[in-house]
Amino acid sequence: MTETSQKASAKKLSKKEARKIVSEKIATALAEYRSSVKEKKFTTNLKKASKLFAADIAKAMSRQRQKLQKPTKIKAVKNSLPEQQTNATEAAV
């Protein structure tokens, strides 16, 4: 993992950080096409694509974080005492 992805996983992922991560990954994936297209055009299109992806990724990460932070409700279950469970198993034997 790179340093930026380690930092991103440790705390809340902002759009700017997500854009940098996505930009790095797309640039490495499309490195072979960089020579066939002008450098400035490649960089501009890369920036636009990473901006679009990063916005969606940041929203998805914040939604996941909100779901994880919600407390779960604990329901009371009848006959859940350990003494009653051992007595029930001994009676069945």
Listed by start position, the domains of the chain span 3-69
Mean of pLDDT over the chain: 77
Residue from 3, 25, 17 nearest 61 by CA: 17
pLDDT of the residue at 1: 45
Cα–Cα distance for residue pair 41/47, rounded to 1 Å: 10
Res. 59: pLDDT tops 80: yes
Cα–Cα distance for residue pair 87/24, rounded to 1 Å: 62
Q: Does pTM top 0.75 for this prediction?
A: no
Cα–Cα distance for residue pair 7/28, rounded to 1 Å: 20
- Confidence band of 75 (pLDDT split at 50, 70, 90): confident
Res. 37: pLDDT tops 60: yes
Residue 23 near residue 46, CB atoms below 8 Å = yes
| Range 65-82 average pLDDT | 68
Residue 50 CB neighbours (<10 A): 21
